[in-house]
Structure 1
Amino acid sequence: MIDAQFDSDILIDALNGIEAARGEIRRAGRKSISRVSWTEVMSAADAQSLKAVEAFLGCFQVEEIGDAVARRAAALRAERKGLTLADAFVLATAQISGRILVTRNIKVFPASMPGIRIPYTL
Structure 2
Amino acid sequence: MTLLRIDARAYLGTEMHYTVTADSLHVVDRSWYQDDTTSTRTYARKLTAKERDWLLASFDQLYLSSIQDKYEPASISSLHELSYHVVLYKGKFLRVTDIYKQWVKFFDTFVQRFNRLVPTPYQIYYTAEYFE
TM-score by length of 1: 0.31
Structure scoring higher RCO (CA < 8 A, sep ≥ 6) equals 1
Bigger proportion of residues as strand: 2
Over alpha carbons, which structure has the higher Rg?
Answer: 2
